[in-house]
Amino acid sequence: MSKTSQQLFERAQKVMPGGVNSPVRAFKSVGLTPKFIDKAKGNKIYDIEGNEYLDYVGSWGPMILGHADPKVVQAVQCRVEKGLSFGACTELEVELAELITSNIQHIDMIRMVNSGTEAVMSALRLARGYTKKNKIIKFEGCYHGHSDAMLVKAGSGAMTFGDPDSAGVTKGAAEDTLLARYNDLNSVEALMKENKEDVACVIVEATAANMGVVPAAAGFLAGLRSLCDQYGALLIFDEVITGFRLAFGGAAAYFGVMPDLVTYGKIIGGGMPVGAYGGRREIMENVSPMGSVYQAGTLSGNPIAMTAGIETLKQLLSEPEIYDRINEMGAYLADGLRRISGFTVNNIGSLVCMFYTKEPVADYDSACKSDTVGFSHVFRELLAEGIYVAPSQYEAMFLNTAFTKEELNFTIETYRKILTR
């Protein structure tokens, strides 16, 4: 008998918490049963019932070349024959590292890990080890994976010591995490002053894409750069979403502001589980076995994962016009959605987010003004019309090279139809 998503979800819930391996997938906030996916190609994704959707999630960012890109798939297929993992050095690791360091000015050395979470966790340890300082400044509404120190956001919007956002995170794990307001340099400066000698780093999504899309305001990143220099803290750009997406050199290249360390995930693995952290040589030299900051991984630099990453990045390097194309598509979709809805639609490059509010959105508090009930209503109708967006207001729409103007027009028109019903 053919299975349905409903049947599978019932089975899944008995053996996996919430039926999923990552919470947003459960479709809880939109009150639906999640679609179980069978396959995907280009910008289309197919559930196990055989329904086709126009996919604006793209595995949450990695699929910038579209799903099942022929070159990536072929390279992976060839590589699989040679064995899946050795836990030893391979040429592929060197190749991926060289592709990045030789094309991104601010990265001299890089270390591969297995996820964005792991990249961030390791970069923070390195920043603390290098500066010999303890505190970390992060911004409300920025997501940096699920390591303990990063699971804090604002309690009351006041800039206080962080309170854990999740059960199981001790006060101790979170108390060195200081919270600032996105796009608000004064809030950062105040924390720097208060904790003068002890801020190891500022970590920031150089365009926030986990509270919806909230681009850095003019001067914000440059201001962070100077504050970090002034107070002897490292500047870390979390480029897990923006890296290789806004430009090959990520948000740093896009905005022309150089961080000390960068974290990667998502696109760097071309759909396989890869993360990485990298930056200036004298900082990276502190990582074990060269230096005293320990960090390791049994499957880090996995040959299959490296292959998918290499093939993806190679294509992005050899066809730089890809960025012009997807960025133009991003602006086109944003303009269209703005026109038909009157809502605030934030866009940068190939990232788009329609907020269900008419107020401008520049930080966490303004993002929270969005009508999430309105969102979930539209989400359900979009899905029924064959358009698959992330099941949360606070996620981006991700474009990839497979999208056409016609599909964007269809999307805009479908939104219009739903919003005027």
Q: Which active-site residues does the annotation give?
A: 143, 238, 266
Q: Whose Cβ is closer to ligand PLP: residue 22's or residue 318's?
A: 22
Query: How far apart (Å, rounded) are the C-alpha atoms in residues 163 and 178?
Result: 10
Query: How far apart (Å, rounded) are the C-alpha atoms in residues 234 and 66?
Result: 35
Binding residues for ligand PLP, total number by CB under 6 A: 14
Q: Whose Cβ is closer to ligand PLP: residue 312's or residue 414's?
A: 312
Task: Work out how close the CB of 34 gets to ligand PLP at its nearest, in angstroms, rounded to a whole number.
Answer: 17
Cα distances (angstroms) measured from residue 402 to each of 43, 46, 63, 365:
6, 15, 10, 34
Q: Whose Cβ is closer to ligand PLP: residue 79's or residue 144's?
A: 144
Query: How far apart (Å, rounded) are the C-alpha atoms in residues 86 and 104?
Result: 29
- Other CB atoms within 10 A of residue 290 CB: 10
Q: Whose Cβ is closer to ligand PLP: residue 136's or residue 418's?
A: 136
Task: Work out how close the CB of 162 gets to ligand PLP at its nearest, in angstroms, rounded to a whole number.
Answer: 17
Query: How far apart (Å, rounded) are the C-alpha atoms in residues 237 and 119?
Result: 11
Q: Whose Cβ is closer to ligand PLP: residue 251's or residue 340's?
A: 251
3-state secondary structure 21-37: CCHHHHCHHHCCCCCCE
Query: How far apart (Å, rounded) are the C-alpha atoms in residues 144 and 57?
Result: 18
Tell which positions 324-343 bind ligand PLP, by CB under 6 A: none
| Residue 320 CB-density burial (10 A; 0-12 exposed, 13-18 middle, 19+ buried) | exposed
Q: How many residues appear in the chain? A: 421
Q: Which of 43, 59, 117, 414 binds ligand PLP (CB under 6 A)?
A: 117
Q: Which residues contact 15 (CB under 8 A, 6 or more apart)?
A: none
372: tokens are 């999430």
Query: How far apart (Å, rounded) are the C-alpha atoms in residues 19 and 22?
Result: 9
Tell which positions 123-152 bind ligand PLP, by CB under 6 A: 143-145
Residue of closest CB approach to ligand PLP: 116
Q: Whose Cβ is closer to ligand PLP: residue 145's or residue 336's?
A: 145
Tell which positions 267-306 bind ligand PLP, by CB under 6 A: 275
Q: Which of 5, 59, 90, 115 binds ligand PLP (CB under 6 A)?
A: 115
Query: How far apart (Å, rounded) are the C-alpha atoms in residues 3 and 378?
Result: 27
Task: Work out how close the CB of 184 gets to ligand PLP at its nearest, in angstroms, rounded to a whole number.
Answer: 19
339: tokens are 């026109």
**Cβ 347 vs Cβ 213: under 8 Å:** yes
**Cβ 137 vs Cβ 108: under 8 Å:** no
**Cβ 101 vs Cβ 107: under 8 Å:** yes
120 binds ligand PLP (CB under 6 A): yes
Task: Work out how close the CB of 241 gets to ligand PLP at its nearest, in angstroms, rounded to a whole number.
Answer: 4
Q: Whose Cβ is closer to ligand PLP: residue 27's or residue 139's?
A: 139
Task: Work out how close the CB of 207 gets to ligand PLP at its nearest, in angstroms, rounded to a whole number.
Answer: 9
Task: Work out how close the CB of 63 gets to ligand PLP at its nearest, in angstroms, rounded to a whole number.
Answer: 14
116 binds ligand PLP (CB under 6 A): yes
336: tokens are 């269209």
What is the enclosing helix (H) or strand (E) of 146?
none
Q: Whose Cβ is closer to ligand PLP: residue 247's or residue 419's?
A: 247
Query: How far apart (Å, rounded) are the C-alpha atoms in residues 220 and 184?
Result: 7
Query: How far apart (Å, rounded) are the C-alpha atoms in residues 38 and 40?
Result: 7
Tell which positions 201-230 bind ligand PLP, by CB under 6 A: 205, 210
Q: Which residues contact 316 (CB under 8 A, 6 or more apart)?
A: 64, 65, 244, 248, 322, 323
346 binds ligand PLP (CB under 6 A): no
Burial state string for 374-394 with b = 16 or more CB within 10 A and e = fewer than 16: ebbbbbbbbbebebbbbbbbb
Task: Work out how close the CB of 247 gets to ligand PLP at its nearest, in angstroms, rounded to a whole number.
Answer: 16
Task: Work out how close the CB of 117 gets to ligand PLP at its nearest, in angstroms, rounded to a whole number.
Answer: 3
The stretch near ligand PLP (CB under 6 A) out of 23-31, 114-122, 173-181, 343-351 is 114-122
Taking residues 230 to 269 in sequence order and writing x for each that binds ligand PLP by CB under 6 A, - otherwise, the string is: --------x-xx-----------------------x----
Taking residues 72 to 111 in sequence order and writing x for each that binds ligand PLP by CB under 6 A, - otherwise, the string is: ----------------------------------------
Residues of this chain that bind ligand PLP (CB under 6 A): 115-117, 120, 143-145, 205, 210, 238, 240-241, 265, 275
